[in-house]
Amino acid sequence: MAGKKTGGLAEVIAGQTAISTVGKEGKGLTYRGYSIDDLAQFGSFEETAYLLIYGKLPSQTELNQYKQKLSGLRKLPDGLRTILEQLSGSTHPMDILRTGISAFSAFEPEALDRDQYDIADRLLASCASILLYWHHYHTSGTRIDTETDSESIAGHFLELLHGRKPSGLHEKALDVSLILYAEHEFNASTFAARVTASTLSDFYSAITTGIGTLRGPLHGGANEAAMELIEAFEGPNEAENGILQMLAQKKLIMGFGHRVYSVSDPRSDIIKKWSRTLSEAAGEMKLYDISERIEQIMLREKKLFANLDFYSASAYRLLGIPTPLFTPIFVISRTSGWAAHIIEQRAGNRLIRPNADYSGPDLKSWPAIRSRS
């Protein structure tokens, strides 16, 4: 891999967490001690969210009750639907989520009878409702009913998007993706959310901080940027030429590299398999083949590996998800991790306020305005 630079708080330990381990010895990921492989293979996103937010794996009864609770929280306040109708159809869906979640705080403020756990669950359950109510209103003028009888958040999302129940394969693929995106220690958006929580601000403010930080293409926005890159090529050979040219121009290839992992991103192997499975099921290998060639070139030329965002792009396309909804899906999932971190920060709070190394000028004398150039 290309040499690591200093700055950007790289390798600085900024606090403690018991929620996840990331990149120990250059690889590996666990959520509260459970490996990401086991969670993706045996678990569901609802189990994962419960584990992160409530601190333990649910029993069967607890899981059933949790799923029931979440499915009962999909209806949006009337006032929020009105706001979503007024936001332009050309708005980026990340703005819609940030604004929608911010508006939620006006309709359902944090209070003694609505605590941080209730808000975490409410947002997990209704992010898809916010996004897809807005999406359908502005693409077809339809005011959709955001309540479906789908048991999972993945199924709810796909059913609202396509207006029909997803296949078991599609629901499972999105469910796994939500598990993979759920939590990642002190990544930029989670750290930002913790900074907001550390001022004793409200839960919604901390979550909207996370959304704003996730959006950038160096973080969550990379899945959309990766899709645009992959779809710009006609086939693997064109991709090879195009990527070599981009590297010669010192351009970043979105969906590659990572601040903490040095060998591989363990989530990438899992989503890559799902991307392949979905491609085979659709009989449509073009995006997968292009992606694989780009991955080979990046390894060969730069010793850089695909991160979670890279194969998530082709997997989402095969699920029929429009590109601007990719990063918002990351939000739906990461809301569980952000919530766990806000709760953990609040439990042992101290204001997060590091020092800066001043590099500006020495003290200067005050110049009268007429003497300034």
Ligand X SMILES: O=C([O-])CC(=O)C(=O)O
Q: Which positions are catalytic?
A: 258, 309
Compute the least distance from the CB of residue 151 to ligand X, in Å: 26
> Is residue 260 close enough to count as binding ligand X by CB under 6 A?
yes
Number of residues that bind ligand X (CB under 6 A): 7
Burial of 308 (0-12, 13-18, 19+ CB in 10 A): buried
Cα separation of 22 and 29, whole Å? 5
Torsion (CA) 204, 209, 210, 213 in degrees, nearest 10: 160
3 binds, among ligand ACO, ligand X, none (CB under 5 to 8 A by kind): ligand ACO
- Check: CB of residue 70 under 8 Å from CB of residue 339: no
Q: Which residues on adjacent β-strands are paired with residue 34?
A: 31
- Check: CB of residue 180 under 8 Å from CB of residue 12: no
> Is residue 276 close enough to count as binding ligand X by CB under 6 A?
no
Member of 44, 177, 187, 205 binding ligand X (CB under 6 A): 187
214 closest CA partner among 331, 310, 316: 331
> Is residue 248 close enough to count as binding ligand ACO by CB under 6 A?
no
Member of 257, 266, 328, 337 binding ligand ACO (CB under 6 A): 257
218 binds, among ligand ACO, ligand X, none (CB under 5 to 8 A by kind): ligand ACO
Member of 5, 164, 353, 372 binding ligand ACO (CB under 6 A): 5
By beta-carbon proximity to ligand X, the closer residue of 14 and 111 is: 14
Member of 135, 156, 170, 184 binding ligand X (CB under 6 A): 184
Listed in order, strand segments (DSSP E) in the chain are 20-22, 29-31, 34-35
> Is residue 219 close enough to count as binding ligand ACO by CB under 6 A?
yes
> Is residue 26 close enough to count as binding ligand ACO by CB under 6 A?
no
Q: How far is CA 194 from CA 290, 338, 350, 351, in A?
A: 38, 8, 10, 9
Compute the least distance from the CB of residue 181 to ligand ACO, in Å: 7
> Is residue 160 close enough to count as binding ligand ACO by CB under 6 A?
no
43 binds, among ligand ACO, ligand X, none (CB under 5 to 8 A by kind): none
Q: Read off the amino acid at residue 179.
A: I
> Is residue 258 close enough to count as binding ligand ACO by CB under 6 A?
yes
Q: Which residues on adjacent β-strands are paired with residue 35?
A: 30
Compute the least distance from the CB of residue 220 to ligand ACO, in Å: 6
Q: What is the DSSP string of 46-90?
A: HHHHHHHHHSSPPPHHHHHHHHHHHHTT-PPPHHHHHHHHHS-TT
By beta-carbon proximity to ligand X, the closer residue of 62 and 185 is: 185
260 binds, among ligand ACO, ligand X, none (CB under 5 to 8 A by kind): ligand X
Residues that bind ligand X (CB under 6 A): 184, 187, 219, 259-260, 307-308
